[in-house]
Amino acid sequence: MAVRRFDIDAGGDTFAFKPETEPKIEFWLAKYPADKKRSGVIPLLWLAQKDNDGWLSEPAMREVADRLEMPYIRVYEVATFYTMFRLQPVGRYHVQLCGTTPCMLRGANDLKEVCESKIGPKMFVTDDGKLSWEEVECLGACVNAPMVQINDDYFEDLTEESFGELIDRLRNGADVSPGPQVDRVNSAPIGGTTVLTDETLFDGSLAKSITLPNLPGALAAAEAEPEAKALPEKKPATNTDREEAKPSGKTGSKNKEADE
Amino acid sequence: MADDLFKLNVDGQDIEVPKSYTLMQACEEAGAEIPRFCYHERLSVAGNCRMCLVQWVGAPKPIASCAQTVGEMRMNPDGTPPNIITRGDYVEKARKGVMEFLLINHPLDCPICDQGGECDLQDQAVAYGRAGSRYELNKRAVEDKNMGPLVKTIMTRCIQCTRCVRFAAEVAGVEEIGMISRGENAEITTYLEESLTSELSGNVIDLCPVGALTSKPYAFNARPWELRKTESIDVMDAMGAGIRVDAKGDAVMRILPVLNEEVNEEWLSDKSRFIWDGLQRQRLDKPYIREGGKLRAATWGEAFEATKAALAKPAEKIGVVAGDLIEVEQAKAALDLFRALGVQNTDCRPGGASYGADGVRERYILNPTLMGAEEADALLLIGVNPRVEAAVWNARIRKAWLWNDLTVGVIGEASDLTYDYTHLGEGPDVLNSLSSSDEAFVEALRNAERPMIVIGEGALSRGDGAAVLAKAHDFALEVGAVTEDWAGFGVLHSAAGRVGALDVGFVPGEGGADTAGILGGDMETVVLLGADEADLSGLEASTVIYIGHHGDAGAAKADIILPCAAYTEMVATYVNTEGRVQMTRRAVQPKGEAREGWAIFRALSDVLGKALPYDTAEALRDVLRGEEGSVFSGLGYAPGASGAEALKAAIEQDGEVSSAPFGSTIDDFYLTNPVARASKTMAECSRQQRALETPIAAE
């Protein structure tokens, strides 16, 4: 990490949030009391970076400071502290290449060479303004190493060839699909699953009705003809179901207290 | 009470300290010395230098004593008080480790560093540093930053203690310094290297424990051990801050603050601190006489003869105006001499204020005292901008606003004071409606246990000044600002010499003219005692005798110039705005043939045949002190609440107040007196500030 400074020249004089960003700003500011607005500095800087072609210019930072009524230097401190706030221009596709140990062991250094030959030095923006790259620390996708993040998407299981092709497609404006670039679903084994392949495990055919032996009438139940052979019709409870169930329970207990 | 105390065992010694103490304070209470860089008792605790490590027996690691509150510590397992060890191998090893890390990136440039000889890092490295370095990689280098014309930065020396950051944010109230980036790349800077805009910015130089922030004007001028250090009193504003004048040869090399808890704590305004180059420039070092329209150097004898001739006029055609920097001795000697000549046209209020004429001292001093701002719960400022008129006091108001919930109201210019206030209005007409106002601040003032009302030069130096003073006083009585133990009404002066001159009675005598009358052009001879701040344009026809130390507005008008000593060159008495009598000390000799002001009048009195009854400054001061109930009998003491009795009577004053808004008497903080106007440093500061204030290309 080198000394981080604003690219003053590239930043111009003005910055304005896009109209569609305003609701997002409201959303974030609503989380904090009016006199502690400055707590929203990181989300707002992040939104400003999104609205400013992926980097944070000096006017953009001032805009955030003005909105939060913070001294500029306090926002400047935050913006320079976090390396995910980029203080100089980046390409339309900004490649964040993971160089931490697992990715490095799986060939990140080769990817770096691809970047250097196809894009240029770190944080260099290609003449067409489409590409730039930097090395970052672990992005938490070690199981799919080596990987890069391009704008908001992960591209995983890269090789020199597939990565080079990816960069070419981005440069030429062709479609790319995020995720593993090999025959693999998310972090499942390459080439498909090798265990738990038995279909019957998943179609419910192995389900049996269970009897609890020491319930009253257990014996009778055991003798009775099983009613269901497959999964019950009822859908499994979702988060919302559980949450909705809560308030009624609460009022119930309250009434109970009141009764007592 | 015992609940608030906590027992500790420090180095085998049992002590009991308040629970709110930090462990560092407790250790110092026990007599242990704790090294530190980031900790400062007037700033918040950062705990980031780790130099203050001590051992807490039983704790797994050394403890940073500055960040550990005593009340949060727990007892030993057997219930005995915690044992703290501040020396020995364990602590020493820990601190040596910290010091080694601090020194990894610190340059070895002490021989060319201005902090050398008074550097905390240097001193502590003697105790905790290693003889050699084990670090084999490249040291880090940091770009130097611009912080304005006063603070020089050599940022490679910075150890990131963040004292300057905390000072700017907490005390000065301008959040302009910050630490950017992180880890090894962390740097202290102002936002995009803009200059600091605080009047207190020079204090970061004192705070910096290393040589990263040093004084720009003083750079490479002197070494601390070759300077003569003289403790004295500052006269750049009416606070009378304690200063230490460091001199080499016949030149003042720098001025530093001296701790005076009741006046300036340990801060000093930039004007007071960096004025010293003005003491070497534009000096009047010999008497001058105007001949054929041009001033020529003369001997004292010639000058006295010319003066004698100029004063051989009818007494009612002679006027004397004392300026802002006049010391008590000169005022007394001048007043005695001119009264002996029958001159009644004497005034020490070149701004045109009318306070002090009735001789009631409580009506022209700051009765609630500067420190009173911390006891008050509501403060009303009338026609006063403390940020420029008493910058260090402004920091104290800010402190009270920050920590004591002081509420502040302002009548006058709405400027940035570094704290929030209620702006009640611009001019004195607001005073008429205050009694019936239902403004929340006025309500707070009424309900306040200790309301404080301060009126300034801006409200008093105008035609309706006397009426404004009376109205403000009435309002102070109405809100109960004057009780047995609280005198909550006072005047904040902006000139160091004013209160002292008023105390010796330097006001128009029986039937005498005031400043406006003297400078109006009716006088045949006008004597200016360093009065440069007044409107001197009416003096074309008069013979002007100027007694002062700098060639400024007054000297330009003068027909006879009698050079006197400046405040660093004499033992002199000044009375600050609170009525606190303080003495300056002589740090250097007066320039050339200049003499102390009182001595000029003593010599002149012989020439005029009206010999004054004192031959030495000490004899003069004996006369001052000898008078019944003399205010000069005690040094360093502010009367404060003892003035409450005299304040209880309302001021009898008729006359209406106008609705013209209060203006400030100071349009440029950096150029308020002849010394400042002679200073290159102040000129540079003023230029920078004006550039900031001028809007760029208004469209």
Residue by residue, DSSP assigns B455-498 as: EEHHHHSSTTHHHHHHHHHHHHHHTT-EETTEE-EEEE-S-TTH
Of B439 and A233, the one with more pLDDT = B439
Residues of A in contact with B192 (CB under 8 A): 6, 8, 58, 72, 76
Q: Closest by alpha carbon to B426, among B108, B237, B661?
A: B661
Cβ burial, residue A224 (10 Å; 0-12/13-18/19+):
exposed
Task: Give φ, ψ of B363 to 5 degrees.
Answer: -90, 0
d(CA B528, CA B551): 13
Asked whether residue B248 carries a pLDDT value surpassing 80, the answer given is yes
Secondary structure class of B380 (helix, strand, coil): strand
Q: Are B214 and B403 in contact (CB under 8 A)?
A: no
Assess whether the previous peptide bond of B661 is cis (omega < 30° from 0): no
Task: Give the CA angle between residues B526, B528, B530 to the nearest 5°.
Answer: 170
Q: Residue B3 pLDDT > 90, yes or no? A: no
At B646 the pLDDT is 87
Query: What pLDDT is attached to residue B629?
Result: 76
Hey, CA dihedral for B499, B505, B506, B507, is it positive or negative? positive
**Is A139 in contact with A108 (CB distance < 8 Å)?**
no
Contact A99, A108 (CB under 8 A): yes
Residue from B252, B234, B277 nearest B682 by CA? B277
pLDDT band at B664 (very low <50, low <70, confident <90, very high): confident
Q: What is the mean pLDDT of residues A230-235?
A: 61
- Out of A3, A58, A73, name the one closest to residue B190 (CB): A73
Q: Residue for token digits 């401190």?
A: A77
Rounded Cα distance, B308 and B452, in Å = 49
Look-up: residue for tokens 């180059």? B277
ipTM of this complex: 0.89
CA distances from A72 to A60, B191, B568 (A): 11, 7, 41
List pLDDT tens digits, range A114-135. Answer: 999 999 999 999 999 999 999 9
How far, in whole angstroms, is CA B249 from its chain's centroid? 26
User: What per-residue confidence (pLDDT) applies to A225?
Assistant: 57
* Rounded average pLDDT over B184-203: 92
Higher per-residue confidence, B10 vs A205: B10
- What mean pLDDT do residues B200-211 have? 95
For residue B141, the 8-state DSSP code is -
Q: Report pLDDT for A255.
A: 44
Query: Per-residue confidence at A247, pLDDT binned at 50, 70, 90?
Result: very low
Q: Is the pLDDT of residue B451 over 90?
A: yes
3-state class (DSSP) for residue A53? coil
B308 pLDDT higher than 70: yes
Q: Are B458 and B385 in contact (CB under 8 A)?
A: yes
Alpha-carbon gap, residue B499 to B279, rounded angstroms: 23
pLDDT for B54? 96
What per-residue confidence (pLDDT) applies to A202? 86
B559, B289 Cβ separation under 8 angstroms: yes
Tell me what the mean pLDDT of segment B585-611 comes to.
94
Which of the residue ranges A114-118, A240-244, B57-61 would you say has the lowest mean pLDDT? A240-244
Residue B192 corresponds to which amino acid?
Answer: L
Query: Which tens digits make up the pLDDT trace of B136-178?
Result: 999 999 999 999 999 999 999 999 999 999 999 999 999 999 9
Q: What is the pLDDT of residue A258?
A: 42
DSSP H or E segment with residue B618: helix B617-626
Q: Helices B328-340 & B597-607, crossing angle to 10 degrees?
A: 20
What band does A250 get if pLDDT is binned at 50, 70 and 90? Answer: very low
| 8 A C-beta contact, residue B503 and residue B365 | no
In this predicted structure, the answer to whether residue B229 has a pLDDT above a threshold of 50 is yes
* SS3 per-residue string spanning B69-86: EHHHCCCCCCCCCCEEEC
pTM higher than 0.80:
yes
List CB contacts of B307: < 8 A, sequence separation 6 or more. B545, B560, B562, B604, B607
Chain B residues in contact with A76 by the CB 8 A cut-off are 178, 180, 191-192
C-alpha B388/C-alpha B406 separation (Å) is 20
Per-residue burial over B432-460, b = 16 or more CB atoms within 10 Å of its CB, e = otherwise = eebeeeeeebbebbeebebbbbbbbbbbb
Question: Mean pLDDT across the stretch B194-210?
Answer: 94
Instruction: Flag whether residue B190 sits within 8 Å of chain A, measured between CB atoms.
Output: yes
Tokens of B315: 């007494």
Of B175, B177, B180, the CB nearest to A80: B180
Predicted local confidence at residue B534, as pLDDT? 87
Chain A hits for B183, CB-CB cut-off 8 Å, are 1
At residue A232 the predicted structure's pLDDT band, cuts being 50, 70 and 90, is: low
Query: A136: which residues sit within 8 A by CB, 6+ positions away?
Result: A83, A96, A97, A98, A99, A149
Contact A71 B176 (CB under 8 A): yes
- What pLDDT does residue B2 have? 58
Both tokens assigned to A193: 């699953």
pLDDT of residue A242: 52
pLDDT for the residue B699: 39
**How far is residue B101's CA from residue B664's CA, in Å, rounded to a whole number?**
51
pLDDT value at position A249? 43
CA–CA dist B282, B632 (Å, integer):
33
Whether residue A1 and residue B175 make contact (CB cut-off 8 A), yes or no, is: no
Question: Which residues have C-beta within 8 Å of that of residue B199, sequence separation ≥ 6?
Answer: B172, B269, B270, B271, B387, B388, B391, B394, B669
Banded pLDDT at A248 (limits 50, 70, 90):
very low
Distance CA B297, CA B416 (A): 47
The rounded distance, in Å, linking the Cα atoms of B328 and B633 is 13
Least confident of A188-192, B234-238, B295-299, B586-590: A188-192
The proportion of chain B whose per-residue pLDDT surpasses 70, expressed as a percent, equals 99
Confidence of residue A209 (pLDDT cuts 50, 70, 90): confident
Residue A205 has pLDDT above 90, yes or no: no
- In this complex, do A71 and B179 lie within 8 Å of one another by their Cβ atoms? no
Average pLDDT in the B314-337 region? 94
Q: Please tell me the distance in Å from A4's CA to the nearest CA on chain B.
A: 7
- Dihedral over alpha carbons B392, B230, B565, B391 (to 10 degrees): 0
Of residues B642 and A102, more confidently modeled: A102
Residues of A in contact with B177 (CB under 8 A): 73
Beta-carbon separation of A1 and B178 below 8 A: no
Identify the band that residue B1 occupies on the pLDDT scale cut at 50, 70 and 90: very low
Structure-block tokens of residue A211: 């009897």
- Chain centroid, CA B209 distance in Å: 23
Q: Check residue A91 and give left, alpha or beta (phi > 0: left; psi -120 to 50: alpha).
A: beta
Show the tokens assigned to B74. Answer: 């727990």
A6 contacts chain B (CB < 8 A): yes
| Sequence-ordered list of residues with C-beta below 8 angstroms from that of B504, at least 6 positions apart, any chain | B328, B331, B332, B335, B624
Cβ–Cβ < 8 Å for B345, B316:
yes
- Cβ pair B180:A74 closer than 8 A: no
B199 at A interface, C-beta within 8 A: no
Band of the pLDDT at A71, cuts 50, 70, 90?
very high
CB contact under 8 A, A72 and B191: yes
Pairing of the two strands B486-487 and B581-584: unpaired
46-105 in A: which are within 8 Å (CB) of B? 58, 71-74, 76-77, 80-81
How many Å lie between the alpha carbon of B623 and the closest alpha carbon of chain A?
A: 55
pLDDT at B4: 87
For chain A, percent of residues with pLDDT exceeding 90: 64
pLDDT at B36: 94
Nearest Cα neighbor of B272 from B240, B298, B304 is B240
- The chain-wide mean pLDDT, for chain B, equals 92
**Helix H or strand E segment including B425:** strand B422-425
**B186: closest CA of chain A, how far (Å):** 8
Residue A107, phi then psi, degrees to nearest 5 = 110, 20
The mean per-residue pLDDT over the stretch A7-36 comes to: 93
Shortest alpha-carbon distance between residue B39 and chain A (Å) = 21
